[in-house]
């Protein structure tokens, strides 16, 4: 794969040559994220969030492995073992706050990364598989984050586990047995806590595996770019290293500054005070909400307060919540417009902006109490969300007249035609 003008890896030392013959790992790295990967020269800052999500995944794995050294996955002592980490373990408070806030930063990066893909049409041919793998990563990350939130065994942990596994109860006929199978009991208890811990430790490594496939799938067509125009020649690309390693490094430094500021000065700003109360199966907190990164989908879940045809409201809500993300799997075939980048699609641009606002509204409603006017707003916003993907995008791709595309990336950058640019 890669472009024919990609720089070739040439080991200079004897050891390098010996290694390259037996296990060409340095060559693999060189071709993936080194000088051997020619990337479009016009990538803007929205292209920085993939590597940032990767960095926060690594931070989560490192801090998580450390926390597992001190944590006890037993319903009797789990809460106390987290307090032990906070009070007794050397720097334990810092490592736990890094892990708790690192999850938020992972999702910030991943949401901006998904938003980039949506606007610039990165899901379109020839990158459908790349997009599908990305959706799989997102789903795995949500499952991992949910199970991680259960582990401290506070009030929000317990009731979060109860509510989310309760979703499965909505499935007709087999719902109840499935819920009991997932929990290993009738309510969250030791069995559930242990399996959540086991899976919370496993899934990040599954994510790493899918991330490797995601990057593999990326390198076959190469990166998309803000114009959406294909790379036509060597003048359209620069080597990934040092150009994009340096650029990514700069935003990673910036992100780490915000991350450490939050971690050291506002470590509980994104958490819930209720989770510092030990789990009590006999008392539900007044206001149960998931972590902020689940709010939009939680709003979709709660938007269904009415039965429709013969389907009960509860089942509708669950189906809608899962569909809200599963619809992304069909996106490459819903948006048929041959123009990738939203920059050259005047109407799409407007609807994309509305979608972003719509998701933000859903997010706000998901974090608010389940009362009016939030329920009504969620219903309208959820309806618009599905309309965007199922009605607006397919129609737009037929009716919209896109603006003329630049002939090449170089032309869009230099303003000169391809042949005279160099």
Partner 1 sequence: MATVETADTAVAEEGGVRRRDFINIAAVSFAGAGAVATVFPLVNQMNPSADVLALSSIEVDISAIETGQSIKTSWRKQPIFIRNLTATEIAEANAVDVAGLRDPQTLAERTTAGKENWLITLGVCTHLGCVPLGAAQGEIKGEFGGYFCPCHGSHYDTAARIRKGPAPKNLEVPEHEFLSDTVVKIG
Give catalytic residue positions: 219, 223, 247-248, 291
Among 16, 19, 24, 70, binds partner 1 (CB under 8 A): 70
Rounded to a whole number of angstroms, the minimum distance from the CB of residue 87 to partner 1 is 7
The answer to whether 303 and 179 are in contact (CB under 8 A) is no
Rounded to a whole number of angstroms, the minimum distance from the CB of residue 12 to partner 1 is 17
Neighbouring residues of 121: CB distance < 8 A, sequence distance ≥ 6: 224, 228, 335, 337, 339, 340, 341, 342
What separation in angstroms does the CA of 283 have from each of 30, 79, 83, 167, 197?
56, 17, 21, 20, 24
Minimum CB distance to partner 1 smaller for 260 or for 305: 260
* Tokens matching residue 69: 């050294």
Interface of this chain with partner 1, residues 216 to 235, rule: CB under 8 A: 235
* Tokens matching residue 292: 């902020």
What separation in angstroms does the CA of 198 have from each of 20, 62, 309?
37, 16, 40
Using CB under 8 A as the binding rule, whether residue 410 contacts partner 1 is answered as yes
Among 44, 198, 407, 422, binds partner 1 (CB under 8 A): 422
Minimum CB distance to partner 1 smaller for 69 or for 212: 69
Among 7, 84, 232, 314, binds partner 1 (CB under 8 A): 84
The answer to whether 346 and 338 are in contact (CB under 8 A) is no
Using CB under 8 A as the binding rule, whether residue 421 contacts partner 1 is answered as yes
- Choices 8-16, 90-98, 212-220, 389-397 (CB under 8 A): range interacting with partner 1: 90-98
What separation in angstroms does the CA of 363 have from each of 149, 268, 273, 370?
19, 19, 20, 13
Minimum CB distance to partner 1 smaller for 341 or for 410: 410
Among 25, 69, 354, 357, binds partner 1 (CB under 8 A): 69
- Choices 49-57, 82-90, 197-205, 312-320 (CB under 8 A): range interacting with partner 1: 82-90
Query: How far is Cα 77 from Cα 152, in angstroms, rounded to an integer?
Result: 10
The answer to whether 274 and 155 are in contact (CB under 8 A) is yes
Among 2, 74, 397, 414, binds partner 1 (CB under 8 A): 414
- Choices 103-111, 120-128, 364-372, 413-421 (CB under 8 A): range interacting with partner 1: 413-421
Neighbouring residues of 37: CB distance < 8 A, sequence distance ≥ 6: 2, 6, 31, 219, 239, 240, 241
* Tokens matching residue 269: 């700003």
Rounded to a whole number of angstroms, the minimum distance from the CB of residue 122 to partner 1 is 24
Rounded to a whole number of angstroms, the minimum distance from the CB of residue 70 to partner 1 is 7
Q: What are phi and psi of 339, to 5 degrees?
A: -85, 125
Please report, as ranges, the residues that interact with partner 1 according to CB under 8 A: 41, 62-63, 66, 69-70, 84, 87-92, 94-95, 235, 238, 249, 410, 413-414, 421-422
């Amino acid at each position: 794969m890669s472009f024919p003008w990609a720089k070739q890896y040439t080991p200079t030392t004897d050891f390098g040559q010996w290694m390259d013959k037996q296990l060409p790992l340095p060559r693999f790295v060189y071709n993936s994220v080194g000088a051997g990967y020619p990337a479009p020269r016009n990538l803007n800052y929205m292209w920085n969030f993939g590597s940032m999500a990767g960095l926060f995944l690594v931070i989560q794995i490192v801090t998580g492995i450390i926390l597992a050294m001190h944590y006890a996955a037993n319903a009797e002592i789990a809460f106390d073992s987290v307090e032990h980490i906070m009070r007794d373990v050397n720097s334990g408070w810092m490592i736990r706050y890094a892990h708790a806030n690192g999850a938020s930063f992972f999702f910030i990066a991943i949401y901006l990364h998904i938003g980039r893909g949506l606007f610039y049409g990165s899901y379109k041919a020839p990158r459908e598989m790349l997009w599908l793998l990305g959706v799989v990563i997102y789903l795995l990350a949500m499952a991992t984050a949910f199970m991680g939130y259960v582990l401290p065994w506070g009030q929000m942990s317990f009731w979060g586990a109860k509510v989310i596994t309760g979703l499965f109860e909505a499935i007709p006929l087999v719902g109840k047995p499935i819920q009991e199978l997932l929990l290993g009991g009738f309510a969250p208890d030791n069995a559930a806590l242990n399996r959540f811990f086991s899976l919370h430790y496993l899934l990040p490594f599954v994510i790493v595996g899918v991330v490797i496939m995601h990057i593999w799938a990326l390198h076959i067509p190469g990166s998309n770019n803000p114009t959406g125009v294909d790379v036509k020649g060597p003048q359209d690309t620069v080597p990934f290293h040092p150009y994009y390693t340096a650029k990514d490094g700069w935003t990673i430094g910036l992100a780490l500054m915000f991350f450490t500021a939050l971690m050291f000065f506002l470590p509980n700003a994104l958490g819930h005070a209720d989770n510092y109360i030990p789990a009590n199966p006999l008392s539900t907190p007044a206001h149960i909400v998931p972590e902020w990164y689940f709010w939009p989908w939680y709003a979709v879940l709660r938007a269904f307060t009415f039965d429709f045809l013969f389907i009960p409201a509860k089942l509708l809500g669950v189906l809608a919540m899962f569909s809200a993300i599963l619809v992304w799997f069909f996106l490459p075939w819903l948006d048929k417009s041959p123009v990738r980048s939203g920059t050259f699609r005047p109407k799409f641009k407007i609807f994309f902006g509305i979608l972003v606002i719509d998701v933000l509204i859903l997010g706000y409603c998901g974090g608010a109490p389940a009362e009016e006017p939030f329920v009504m707003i969620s219903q309208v916003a959820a309806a618009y969300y599905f309309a965007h993907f199922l009605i607006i995008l397919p129609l737009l791709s037929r009716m919209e007249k896109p603006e003329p595309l630049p002939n090449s990336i170089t032309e869009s950058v230099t303003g000169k035609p391809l042949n005279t640019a160099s």
